[in-house]
Amino acid sequence: MTTALRRLRNYIDGEFRDAADGRTTEVVNPATGEAYATAPLSAAADVDAAMAAAEAAFPAWRDLIPAERQKVLLKIADRFEERAEELIAAESENCGKPVALVRSEEIPPMVDQIRFFAGAARMLEGRSAGEYMDGFTSIIRREPVGVCAQVAPWNYPMMMAVWKFAPALAAGNTVVIKPSDTTPASTVLIADIIGSVLDELGHSRGVFNVICGDRETGRLMVEHKVPAMASITGSVRAGMQVAESASKDLKRVHLELGGKAPVVVFEDTDIAKAVEDISVAGYFNAGQDCTAATRVLVHESIHDEFVAALAKAASETKTGAVDDEDVLYGPLNNANQLKQVKGFIERLPAHAKIEAGGEQVGEKGYFFAPTVVSGLKQDDEIVQHEVFGPVITVQSFSDEKQAVEWANGVEYALASSVWTKDHARAMRMSRSLDFGCVWINTHIPLVAEMPHGGFKKSGYGKDLSAYGFDDYTRIKHVMTSLDG
């Protein structure tokens, strides 16, 4: 006897719909490796319908005074709190994440971020009006860009959806968002929440639309003639494809891509404290975080002591079932990701040494042990490329110059951290590190008020903060003659 799979649906113009051609794909719980739902495999007709709904809803949403959009976002934040347990259950099933950690580490910041952008809705500031030519006054208008096509990733499906829809809606844009094909459940639930709020407050439910699907669905969204902007959080390859597709009609593009964060540990660091914080920042969410502390550069004078302490911390870190409150992280998100992480370990060069972990855990699901690899060189594959798993690599450096060279010596430039008691050194390093974020004596905290985004192959554009809000607006110059 088989259990019927739950049916997820697209959300278009306020209605839950199957794909127009009826195609579906199975959705797997990574903690069990078993399918629990089906989701639409959306094609061109579905994308057309969602874009038409967003386009039709845009003029009225754009023309609302900011205070009215703020009311909607504040109500959405309230509803997230009211329906938190539903969101937690959906995300845990989506990703195999420990329930307690979703409750403590994801729901509160998401609610806070929505409320931040609710406030930002009323801060559409421009430079002062003034006369820059005799007889004329110039003013600046800040306007929404239009319909936004947004593609969210599978590592934080709920939170990344918030990072996309909240600034877009606050600025007066309408949205069509696609979750990853492996994690659609929580985004479909978000559609139900937002749709009910829009309905209650008398706004078109076409302001927010969700379509499920695969890479081809995402391509159709980005290449569609309606959106004025495409935003994606994903791999470098996906970002390049989006940028290429969007270039055909010069859409705006907002890209948050991969990372390979260096964690530079100097000899004056409190080793016990650094190891404790770095291991959490490296293994949280199974290392499936673009900012994860997975590439440690440690001064040669404390290398052996640091590696021993880190390996011990790894051996004491637990992964496991969603209802186990003692685990730090759950499984990798899907079978392909498990295969990728295993591949990095299998291809390690002879000079590398696995200090802890290095293997799959359990007989079902996609769990991988917390892993430490030492003895690595700067040009090794596992140092240069994003693993996106619970694997921390360690290299030994001799001086500050070499630390900077190696830290910057990758194609990614999203986040980094420096560990030292020397304030001047910390300031020098923060200037020299070529990354969008530099943490000092900590790693991974984020706040709604500060920007998140990188350089180089980590993409461009900012999430969170007033800078992230700005990315969803356009600037118009208005000049008027004083002659009447």
End-to-end CA distance of the chain: 81
Tokens standing for 44? 């061109």
Question: Closest Cα to residue 284, out of 183, 376, 413, 155?
Answer: 155
Report the C-alpha gap between 181 and 153 in whole angstroms. 9
3-state DSSP: the chain helix, strand, coil percent, rounded to 5?
A: 40, 25, 35
Enzyme catalytic residues:
256, 290
Report the C-alpha gap between 355 and 394 in whole angstroms. 10
Burial class (CB in 10 A: 0-12, 13-18, 19+), 62: middle
Question: Closest Cα to residue 73, out of 105, 14, 142, 120?
Answer: 120
CB 287 within 8 A of CB 389: yes
Q: What is the DSSP letter of 329?
A: B
Phi, psi of 392, deg, nearest 5: -110, 125
CB 448 within 8 A of CB 474: no
Report the C-alpha gap between 349 and 329 in whole angstroms. 28
Q: Which residues contact 279 (CB under 8 A, 6 or more apart)?
A: 310, 313, 314, 317, 370, 392
Q: What angle do CA 20, 25, 28 make, to 5 degrees?
A: 150
CB 314 within 8 A of CB 359: no
Report the C-alpha gap between 373 and 258 in whole angstroms. 21
Beta strands 174-178 and 208-210, pairing class: parallel
> For the range 452-457, what are the long-range contacts, defined as Cβ-Cβ under 8 Å and sequence gap of 24 or more?
452/163, 452/256, 452/291, 453/256, 453/414, 454/256, 454/257, 454/259, 454/412, 454/413, 454/414, 454/415, 455/413, 455/414, 456/411, 456/412, 456/413, 457/236, 457/239, 457/257, 457/258, 457/411, 457/412, 457/413
